[in-house]
Structure 1
Amino acid sequence: MAGFVVGNIKLNEIDKAQTLIKSVFDKYIAPGYSPEGIRHFYEFITLEAIISRLITKSFMLAARTENEIIGVAEIRDYSHISLLFTAEAYHGNGVARTLIRTAIDKCLQKNKELKSITVKASPYAVPIYEKLGFSCSEPEQVLNGLRFTPMIRTLK
């Protein structure tokens, strides 16, 4: 596998990130969601919605090879993972782990007292987050057609 680097997303990369998110969502997550849930997710990942969140309350990291974005993570309020997606060809190669590690470091720089980071994981992502050190904090829920399990990772 080619090497990759992780850093803040650039404004001109957000459309590429959105394309990556949608393609992975459509293949791995959407099949378990209702039409309402899919519609709500698509509204969440419009370019306008992403840019608005990045201006007000979130930051986004991108994992890049020389030629492409292979993963993205969006963190809200320096404490909650809103999005974490890796290109299919790079699943199992440490991209998500590196994105999470980098995001946690950035959150801790902002708030040295941060005790935990949370996520609302799709059914597909629960075992992935468990491998990344998260545990379920509540049973699976459905909100606006979106299925998720609240999860938390305690920070040392």
Structure 2
Amino acid sequence: MTAIRQLLPGEEKRITPLIREAFDIHIAANYSAQGVIEFYRYIELAAIARRMLENHEIFIALTGQEITGIIELRNHQHISLLFVKNAYKGTGIGKTLLRYAVDRMRAGGSTQITVNSSPNSTGFYASQGFVSLGEEEEEHGIRSLSMKLDLKG
């Protein structure tokens, strides 16, 4: 069974290997060298700790004591990161984390959720009700497609 809880200050080092492994295997090949470096900067321990003190919340999925997925939310309306440990892909952990985030944001009064999806994750988000807001973009070597999910109704 998967449990979800908020990441505690000081636990950042427990999530970076999971994020980096999943990124390296599934996403990095679609980014330029600049994009890979930019992403690695985003997941540095100090950067994660700083965001947690500002307007970001990070939630982790636990299978036993093992962290098997993470989701990072900004301002109760934007998904900054969503990664599942490679050995657990296809087990529903990503959907469970996303549902948890949606419920949390809806309860907090958010009317929509946005995400800048990597090209290989757009199908996942579309399957969960997200719609594209335009064309794929590239900024600092990071490719993404802006998507949103309406929470009204």
Q: By how many angstroms is 1:48 displaced?
A: 0.5
The residue type equivalent to 2:149 in the other structure is: R
Specify the SS of the correspondent of 1:124.
Answer: helix
> Who is 2:128 aligned against?
132
Report the counterpart of residue 28 of structure 1 in structure 2: 26
Distance in 1 (CA, whole Å) between partners of 2:66 and 2:3 is 11
Alpha-carbon distance, 1:103 to partner: 1.1
1:71 pairs with one of 64, 69, 72: 69
Query: Structure 1: any 5+ residue segments left out of the alignment?
Result: none
Instruction: Using the TM superposition, give the Cα deviation of residue 67 of structure 1 relative to its aligned residue in structure 2, in angstroms.
Output: 2.7
Task: Report the secondary structure of 2:47's partner residue.
Answer: helix
Aligned partners of 1:46, 1:120: CA distance in 2, in Å? 19
- The offset of 1:110, in angstroms, is 2.4
The amino acid that maps onto 1:93 is T
Partner in structure 1 of residue 15 of structure 2: 17
- Corresponding residue for residue 148 of structure 1: 144
Matched residue count = 152
- Identical pairs, percent: 34
Q: CA RMSD in A?
A: 1.0
Q: State how far apart, in whole Å, the 2-side matches of 1:63 and 1:83 are.
A: 13
State the shift of 1:39 in Å: 0.5
In structure 1, which of residues 60, 85, 88 is the aligned counterpart of residue 86 of structure 2? 88
- CA separation in 1, counterparts of 2:47 and 2:17? 14
Q: Which letter does structure 1 place at the counterpart of 2:138? A: V
Q: Which residue matches 1:115?
A: 111
Structure 2 gaps of 5+ residues are none
